[in-house]
Amino acid sequence: MFDPKTLDVLGQFSLPPRAPLAPGTSLFQDFTGGGYFFLDNRDRVWSATTTRHVWVIAERRGSPGFVLRRDYDLSRALRSDERITSALPDSSGRIWFVAKRNGVVGTIARRSGRIRLRRLGRGRTGEIENSFATASHDVYIATNRKMYRFRAGRGGRPQIVWKARYRNSGLTKPGQVDDGTGTTPTVLQGGYVAITDNDDPMNVVVYRTAVHPRHGRRLVCRVPVFRRGASATENSLIGADRSLIVENNYGYKDPFGRMSGAVTEPGFARVDIERGGRGCRRRWTNRTERAPTTVPKLSLATGLIYAYTRPPDPGGSQPYFWTALDFRTGRRVWRQLAGRGLNYNNNYAGIAIGRDGTAYLGTLLGGIVAIRDG
């Protein structure tokens, strides 16, 4: 817990230590056991742990700090290699969760703690690397081969409403954690959900969410972004009305990557869904800015896309910049130096915009950095 103005640490609570990783898994690309968490309407943290539990952590009364309020033990339902990637509520308050291995999709009844789950496939076929999206009673989950819509059936058991296979080059590109989509699904108004695929070049892919889509077509569009041999992303799309923003992360593997600071291929793009879902078009592409791993954010108040960029630096000082792009044109509006060196590498952390307009970002070793209007 940090003071929003000074960033002083007000309280902390230790999660269980990280368990040994599977062979071939990078420490810097493993998001299980707390990489994703959410705050509920009582400001309680719901976080998965490395021990296959979901903890509910509340603010301590009287003085800044934390206390464990509830512990949901999933260790008997999950196998030892099925580590929880993310847990989120639907509109009824039921908690959904996914595990990285074997395509585990499950639900938790909050009061009783009853667990219901299903497995979508063994090995890499069913791997779920990212978080998922909730919309009313439904959840949208992407494995590294297919896109799914789920709904809770009798007793809370996850049921597949529909599924769709997306294009896949079969490559684990530099900049991606596995050989599938790098995006958490993005739900849009008008009955759409979007991801990127793992084709070469990568596509922004939009689906209709309806159980029985008009004219029988689930796929709205498939729009290629960035160039062949240099397109990948490991971060969710920004969605606003019928527009989607995607950033290029091709080339990032860890904080110690190329040029001692993980310089990646450039690229941001905006893709718009046509009215009535009659396809999509690429509105603009920025081929200059390089954002190694940030989860960018759009401010509807300012019309700016906030990103965290790392330009090439032959001198080796490793600069990181707060960067703002114009949503309408994709051009850079401003950028401000955040800092230099490994301490300022965000390694997949996402930007959060506060109520007063302050932007916050977690960094690998330096803690939290913030930027405010001057």
Q: Give me 115's structure tokens.
A: 């667990």
The pLDDT value recorded for residue 258 is: 53
Q: Is the pLDDT reported for residue 20 higher than 90?
A: no
Q: Which CATH number goes with the domain that contains 50? A: 2.130.10.10
Q: Which residues of 234-272 are buried (b: 16+ CB within 10 A; e: fewer)?
A: bbbbbbeebbbbbbbbbbbbebebeeebbbbbbbbbbbb
Is residue 33 very low, low, confident or very high in pLDDT (cuts 50, 70, 90)?
A: confident
Give pLDDT tens digits for 318-330.
899 999 999 999 9
Query: 35 is in which domain, residue-wise?
Result: 1-165
Q: Give me 140's structure tokens.
A: 């949208």
Does residue 153 share a domain with residue 179? no
Does residue 109 share a domain with residue 63? yes
The pLDDT value recorded for residue 259 is: 44
Of 132, 165, 198, the last residue of a domain is 165
Give pLDDT tens digits for 126-167.
899 999 999 989 999 999 999 999 999 999 999 999 999 999
Does residue 189 share a domain with residue 116? no
What pTM, to 2 d.p., does this model score? 0.94
Q: Which CATH number goes with the domain that contains 244? A: 2.40.128.630
- The mean pLDDT of 62-70, rounded to a whole number, is 94
Q: Is the pLDDT reported for residue 123 higher than 70?
A: no
Q: How, if at all, do strands 192-196 and 319-326 pair? A: unpaired
- The mean pLDDT of 36-63, rounded to a whole number, is 94
DSSP 38-68: EE-TT--EEEE-TTSEEEEEEEPSSSS-EEE
The pLDDT value recorded for residue 261 is: 52
Percent pLDDT > 70 in the chain is 97
The pLDDT value recorded for residue 124 is: 67
Q: Are 43 and 64 in contact (CB under 8 A)?
A: no
The pLDDT value recorded for residue 113 is: 95
The pLDDT value recorded for residue 372 is: 92
Does residue 294 share a domain with residue 213? yes
Cα angle 198-204-210, degrees, rounded to a multiple of 5: 110
Does residue 94 share a domain with residue 79? yes
Q: Are 49 and 43 in contact (CB under 8 A)?
A: no
Q: How, if at all, do strands 104-108 and 319-326 pair? A: unpaired
User: How many domains does the structure of the chain reveal?
Assistant: 2
Between CA 55 and CA 71 the distance in angstroms is: 5
Q: How, if at all, do strands 352-353 and 332-340 pair? A: unpaired
Does residue 172 share a domain with residue 284? yes
Give pLDDT tens digits for 243-296.
999 999 999 987 876 544 578 999 999 999 999 999 999 999 999 999 999 999
Of 147, 165, 183, the last residue of a domain is 165
The pLDDT value recorded for residue 85 is: 93
The pLDDT value recorded for residue 147 is: 97
Give pLDDT tens digits for 157-212.
999 999 999 999 999 998 888 899 999 999 999 999 999 999 999 999 999 999 99
Does residue 143 share a domain with residue 33? yes
The pLDDT value recorded for residue 260 is: 45
Does residue 150 share a domain with residue 237? no
Neighbours of 206 (CB within 10 A): 24
Q: Are 142 and 128 in contact (CB under 8 A)?
A: yes
Of 165, 197, 224, the last residue of a domain is 165
φ, ψ at 231 (rounded to 5°): -140, 120
Does residue 176 share a domain with residue 80? no
Give pLDDT tens digits for 79-112.
988 999 999 999 999 999 999 889 999 999 999 9
